[in-house]
Amino acid sequence: MTANAASSSADRPATRAEPMFGTLLTAMITVFAEDGAVDLDATAGVAEQLVDDGCDGLVVCGTTGEYSTMTDEENLSVFRAVKDAVGARVPLLAGTGSNDTEHSRYLSRAAEEIGMDGLLIVTPYYNKPTQAGVEAHFRSLADSVDVPIMLYDIPGRAGIPIATETLVSLAGHPNIVAVKDAKADLVAATRVLAETDLLYYSGDDGLTLPWMSIGAAGLVGVTTHVATAHYRRLVDAVRAQDLVTAQRINRELEPVVRATMTRAPGAVAAKTILTWQGRLPHSTVRLPHVQATEAEAALIRADLENSILSGTILETID
């Protein structure tokens, strides 16, 4: 363990055994009315249902929440609505990252004032800074707040990864406590887990079991909108070291992951399925997203119908 990481260990209020953010988190959608306005009541309702069904944490206004197409005031209003709805029940992380450090600082401080329990901050995208710039960005934001931060490593969207050495160095900051990984480099992550006390979360729904097998705390997912209880059982089985059960549930979930994560963008697919289930009045998304085409919807439905879980996931679909 590095000196910085070791010195920060005593300051952290949670361990891998008792993750501060929970073990099953949904990166939840933001519900929009048919005219595109934010529907705060419906969004709060989604949060309540997710917690009722087994989520012990939520990410609010992340990528799936379409935060990048919302105004600052819209994002803050969603933080408040979800905080009021379920903030007494589960930890809430606010998505406050962007490619502009000062903009991220404003949103991060505002989220802290609202009472969010932590922040999800993505790698600064589009700019393609050096690793020195990436580290300076995260450190500057972590210095600006007193709430814990989960870094979001997703090179497919950001254009760059957070290098292993950068993660190890950042682990020395007392406010940087976790990583949501959508990089899928389990070997590199094993080094970070060995050398630091950072909590890891799978950022790829289909890799939840492999991630947890090397020590990840759980999942921050999208498919969890439509199969919450099944993911709760998967995560609990891994934590109970019941590999046989975990493997079975993982196989059962594969068509659901395919439907939610590969046929259309996650926000689009999740809203499509939730609308079919009668849990949303409509599947409105904001440009540049568009609603699922007929062909995409047919593929999503076929994946779900071919799943062994279709009896529970599709039971309310017309």
Catalytic residues: 152, 180
Write the CA distances from 209 to 60, 156, 162, 294, integer angstroms: 24, 21, 22, 32
CA distance 195 to 210: 20
Taking the CA of residue 177 as centre, how many other CA atoms within 13 Å lie in the half-sphere pointing to its CB?
25
Q: Would you say 205 and 224 are in contact if contact means Cβ atoms under 8 Å apart? A: yes
Tell me the backbone φ, ψ of residue 137, rounded to 5 degrees: -60, -55
Helices 101-114 and 131-143: angle between axes, nearest 10 degrees: 30
CA distance 183 to 193: 15
The helix/strand/coil state of 94 is: strand
The structure tokens listed for 256 are 């659901």
N residues, the chain: 318
* CA-angle at 42, arms to 39 and 43, nearest 5°: 80
CA distance 131 to 133: 5
The structure tokens listed for 203 are 């950022």
Q: Would you say 111 and 94 are in contact if contact means Cβ atoms under 8 Å apart? A: yes
CA distance 248 to 246: 5
The helix/strand/coil state of 9 is: helix
